[in-house]
Structure 1
């Protein structure tokens, strides 16, 4: 195994600066790892060797001259299939889009990465339309988790999670509408941030979907955040730029002592965290309490099930994309997604408006419920894992197990995921939620927890376990 794969981005930069390493060395190690493990994972779905090589060569010249563009200059990274990037395909995870021409424009995250000198190696897998919290796609097949190839890497940024855990690249940009950067981080032992809505520009503009950084460490996620959070006027909902130097000591911003922390283990509906997951969240809470935080358990925010209305909005979103295809291409979309989205056919315009109103009231309810806390700790997913072939815990409602993550897209709050425990050789994550616009503090608290968790993940650079191939 190439020792480069076990280095941090900071160690790479030290090597670049001294001349002991070059960005081409890092790229070569990344490409070799793709060749070695991607056949098992199905995580990387497009590689741009030519452009990546040119970018690495240019970065090498800047480092040799002592003028790197940013902390990401020369660092190999990937982007999700849904992040439009010049010269790479955009398929949105579905076979119905296979054959579209490669992108001729860069989305805001891709543009910021290129300006920073990052080396975009390729695209990562996602499920059809990004509307599943798993790695099952009609185009890409089944993406698998390198911690245990029988299990799912989560989704919808499935390929980002699987590839990073297996040592491919030093960061990835995903997107999150119900948990899609945090869920793969939870499954794969990674760090991810769903930022305050508008903090990271993305297209099309959305009040609930955000691009977000995913990495193996908080420091590396913060470096990505510092770059892709750059303002872009093309996103009319983009927030004004904020000052953030990822080289600063994040811990100084954590402000653990005296912080009021709520522990949210029961939403009052849906899937509750299994004991192995709840224990990890409690251990994180105890760690914060030992650091001087005031910690208390939060009662369930919901007395009645709020999910049907949100599920209706998800169904309409998926059905709208499906209906844009002709009859032949509609048959190429993942059957499980098509079957679930058929529920949208039963909705009238007034039904949809009522669902929008109900989701808004639920959003306001949970925001009020948590308003007294500086930070909230919660599970990322309610279970440790599920089979790679599954579209979710509940095929009839494939996003239903995202109950701990989806509402923070609605409230617009920043929420990070961090591996804080292991169960049966598989990672267990904890979610750190902050007040709106407190993204940097969320990263700082997550970094503090990372430093106090008592272990470092033993990354599966050689994927573990075996899997019997199953057709989608």
Structure 2
């Protein structure tokens, strides 16, 4: 049920928040062994939250549109009474948090029922659902396929019908990538619009749900400022209004169509066809669509990749020898290259990335909105850490620069191919969050066919590597086959759902 239906049932008394929580926990029991998405259940506290919400609805005094709605949070979002593990095995013994991070605090204040935590990869440094602690998260559309990451468990759980919404986090595409792999909607907001800890110029919390309208509702609750995030933007929470699905919503908008970043993996023709269909839908309604030349004339990725390596290395180094050996080997091997960098090298990389981000921002700012792919192909096998084992975030080329520029970008599912969803990214200038959401919701209303959600996870053969990206499997990329990284380390942790 969508949240509008749930609220109607709460109002007329045909359902209570306790009923919906019980349904949610039952759903976890039914499907989580297959998808390995929910890694901590807070049954006792969730029941207390649901009972309090039930009393408010009976009294006619709900706190918000999310009162009594079941919501999960990513492992990286600190929530009182729940453990923070950051997806990595060496953190398995850490105590539960005692304080809510800003997104969790806003959810509790709104009366939402936080029922559990979702799986993520080590340090959040993969655009894939593979973790040394949690094992492999599987896509319910096709259990042999990846969910994307790093908000991997959020993507899988929502696609399979667990809960209504989830809060993830995004540093290179980590809410938008799982949304694309799993057919969901998601938003990486203007940097600072959703406060998060630790404060960051590039990493943001972000909402995921099955529909853009539900993403907008979650955004309206968690987008207010929080003094603990020194970079959070002033002003109250933003409340996106329901979208007029007529042509008036998009008529006259100047929209840039990006199909080539100038580097990285090429867009698969079947993904390109879906993105072009979205652009034509906008153009037919009166938008002015212009195809953008390749965004970068020189490859900006190596400098940004090194910044990510340094970030991962900084989290890896404090572990003792045993802890270091327990981190996902592909993360360890990838970030090891940063150990030889000098401080001056890092400063040069920061400056290079800043220049690339400014260039990207100027391209986006020349339009009202940007439409592009989210991922270059139709996904990849469940055990892979990305299209490249040596540079596991490299396939994030269409998403990562919105983080560096601080500009908002949303994902909306717009098509299907070979049994998996295909997402479209809608981005825009800074502070254009409401416009981005409105056009994403408008596109969703014009989706060529409704999604047949995988309420029973589908055990199907994996897609062949030729569908992963244009040219994948050619001589230039055969070093990274589809069988890379079976992620068999610590299999006993996969699907280990804890109950408080």
Fold-level match, TM-score > 0.5?
Answer: yes
Equivalent residues of 2:191, 2:201 under 8 A apart: yes
> Secondary structure of 1:257's match?
coil
| 5+ long unaligned stretches in structure 1 | 1-6
Match for residue 387 of structure 1?
Answer: 381
Equivalent residues of 2:221, 2:237 under 8 A apart: no
Match for residue 455 of structure 1?
Answer: 449
Cα deviation, residue 244, structure 1: 3.4
Is 1:262 the counterpart of 2:256? The answer is yes
Aligned pair partner of 2:222 in 190, 206, 228: 228
> Secondary structure of 1:331's match?
helix
Q: Distance in 1 between matches of 2:364 and 2:224?
A: 29
Q: Distance in 2 between matches of 1:461 and 1:116?
A: 28
Cα deviation, residue 372, structure 1: 1.4
Say what the alpha-carbon RMSD is for the aligned residues: 1.5
TM-score (norm 1): 0.97
Is 1:108 the counterpart of 2:102? The answer is yes
Equivalent residues of 1:254, 1:441 under 8 A apart: no
Is 1:183 the counterpart of 2:177? The answer is yes
Aligned pair partner of 2:135 in 141, 150, 154: 141
Cα deviation, residue 255, structure 1: 3.7
Q: Distance in 1 between matches of 2:248 and 2:78?
A: 34
Q: Distance in 2 between matches of 1:125 and 1:187?
A: 15
> Secondary structure of 1:429's match?
strand
Q: Counterparts in 2 of 1:67-466, with a 5 A limit?
A: 67-242=61-236, 244-246=238-240, 248-249=242-243, 255-465=249-459
Equivalent residues of 1:254, 1:442 under 8 A apart: no
> Secondary structure of 1:420's match?
strand
Equivalent residues of 1:200, 1:231 under 8 A apart: yes
Q: Distance in 1 between matches of 2:304 and 2:456?
A: 39
Per the alignment, do residues 91 and 254 of structure 1 end up closer, same or farther by CA in structure 2, a change over 3 Å counting?
farther
| Pairs aligned (count) | 466
Equivalent residues of 1:160, 1:214 under 8 A apart: yes
Cα deviation, residue 158, structure 1: 0.2
| 5+ long unaligned stretches in structure 2 | 463-485, 490-500
Q: Distance in 2 between matches of 1:200 and 1:119?
A: 19
Equivalent residues of 1:59, 1:117 under 8 A apart: yes
Aligned pair partner of 1:66 in 41, 48, 60: 60
Match for residue 4 of structure 1?
Answer: none
Equivalent residues of 1:374, 1:435 under 8 A apart: yes
Per the alignment, do residues 243 and 157 of structure 1 end up closer, same or farther by CA in structure 2, a change over 3 Å counting?
closer
Equivalent residues of 1:127, 1:134 under 8 A apart: yes
Instruction: Spell out structure 1 runs of 4+ moving beyond 2 A.
Output: 241-255, 466-470
Match for residue 497 of structure 2?
Answer: none
Q: Distance in 1 between matches of 2:275 and 2:243?
A: 25
Per the alignment, do residues 78 and 253 of structure 1 end up closer, same or farther by CA in structure 2, a change over 3 Å counting?
farther
Question: Residues 291-345 of structure 1, C-alpha deviation per residue, up to 9 Å, x if partnerless?
Answer: 1000010001111110000000000000000001111111111111000001101
> Secondary structure of 1:262's match?
strand
Q: Distance in 1 between matches of 2:314 and 2:243?
A: 45
